[in-house]
Structure formats: structure tokens, C-alpha cells
Structure 1
């Protein structure tokens, strides 16, 4: 586990719990969905996974969803291969992680996510650019802060 902490120091700064809001917009900027989130980012000490993330979402109408994302570290990148997604995350500078992933059930769709963490490590700004047949069709704007 120390290799991921040493070789992906920006990702390591995301360890902990994050709460925020996801706002989904179409290509014209119209809001098409909005919901609250609570994410947990972990580096399990037991060696079961290099990285483990739990995403919890809650809508105002009471709907809720939860997903788990175990990750494997290799080649200075974090790789995801779950029943839902294939993906890869890598660092690009001292504040930014890029994530590419696709849903296994929708092979012609993928997204790129940019995750920027503040210097104090307590705020994150994330954007998802969604593509279908290589054409942008929506964006997700995410603002989060560390849960204390």
C-alpha cells in the first residue's frame, strides 16, 4: 500500500469522507438532475484493495443509491474493474486527478472526470464530461467538502 501513497500523493490527500452536491446539466447548461452525496475514500490497511471508495447518493424525493468501487494500484495509476465499470485514474499535477471510466452495460458511453483538491485538503471541485458515441451529451458538476 505504501507505493500508492508515495506515487499518488494527490490521491492520498482525498482519504476520508466527503459531502456535497451533484448537479447534472445538459449541453445547454439546463439542470436535469441534482442530488446530495457522501463519499468515503479509503486505503485499506488489510491489503484487500489498494483503494476503496463508497459513494452514497440521496435525492430530495427520498430515492437513494450506494455503490462500492474497489481499486487496484499499478503503473502509477488506479484501476477499476467492477461489475459496473472499467476505469483508470491518474495524477496530472499537485492538485488534480483525472479519471476515465465507462459503464459495462453501455459500451458506447464513457466519461472523463477532473478532480481538484484545495491546498488545505478540505474542498474538492469535480466535473464529469459524459460522452456517447464520442459526442458530449451532459456534464456533472460536483462541489464537496471534507466531513469532519
Structure 2
């Protein structure tokens, strides 16, 4: 049986609770959305990765999203009501993701996550494409809080 923590050691280092800020910008780098985040990254078993994202906006809105996944072929795979996609380790500090939002036809995203050497800081960037044309970017800075 596969052991996710051993086969994806960088992903395993992301276990815990992360807080940060998401900043969405258009192609001219104008801010179109900004909100706080709290992500819980968990490994319920040797073959499961589970993430809970909680977003909070200054106007009081909140959103909580659960992302169960499966592990196979050296990658994490998502297929739920919101997204379909996968992630893999590119090198010792970088995780790459390619995913699609099911509510955005003809759109897909690439995400890069960089983990600091001490494992307590993350930088993430998303590139959003629609019909293969960049239409938005998301920049995320996070700190491990637990």
C-alpha cells in the first residue's frame, strides 16, 4: 500500500494550520478581491490528504470549503463538486497544481506553492486561464499557526 507521507515528503511538511491573505488581481495587476484565509491541511490516513479552507472578507462574509482527495500515481487528485485536478512535487521546495473550477467552463488554473526551509512560511501563486488566455492571478502569503 502507498504511504503518501513517504512518497510526497514535501506535501507532508505542509501538514498543519495556515493563515494568510489571498489577493486576486486582473492582468493589469489591479486588485479585484482580497480576503483572509485559514487552511487546515490534514492526512487522515496513509493514502488520504484532506484540506479545509475558510475564507473571511472584511464585510463579514465567510466561506468554508472541504477538499477531500485521493492519492495515486505519485499525485494527489481532486474531483468534487467545486474542482477537478491534481498536484505533484516539482522539487524539494515546490508543489505544482493544475485544476479546474467546475463553475467556470473553459477555464483552468496552475498553482505554485513554495515552502520556506523552516517550513513555517508559504508563498502561493495562481494563474487563471480562460480559453487559454490569462485573465487573473492570485497571490497568497501564509504563515503556519499550528
Normalising to structure 2: TM-score of the pair? 0.96
Normalising to structure 1: TM-score of the pair? 0.95
Residues of 1 paired with 2:109 and 2:23: CA distance? 15
Residues of 2 paired with 1:101 and 1:141: CA distance? 16
Aligned to 1:142: 140
Unaligned runs of 5+ in 1: none
What is the Cα-based RMSD across aligned positions, in Å?
Answer: 1.3
Consecutive aligned runs of 4 or more in structure 1 exceeding 6 Å deviation? none
What is the DSSP-based 3-state SS (H/G/I as helix, E as strand, rest coil) of the residue aligned with 2:44?
A: coil
Aligned to 1:10: 10
How far did 1:107 drift? 2.5
How far did 1:2 drift? 5.9
How far did 1:52 drift? 0.3
1:71-98 per-residue CA deviation (whole Å, 9 max, x = no partner) reads 1000110000101110100000000000
Unaligned runs of 5+ in 2: none
- Of 51, 54, 69, which aligns to 2:52? 54
Aligned to 1:36: 36
How far did 1:110 drift? 0.7
Residues of 1 paired with 2:115 and 2:22: CA distance? 16
Residues of 2 paired with 1:122 and 1:2: CA distance? 27
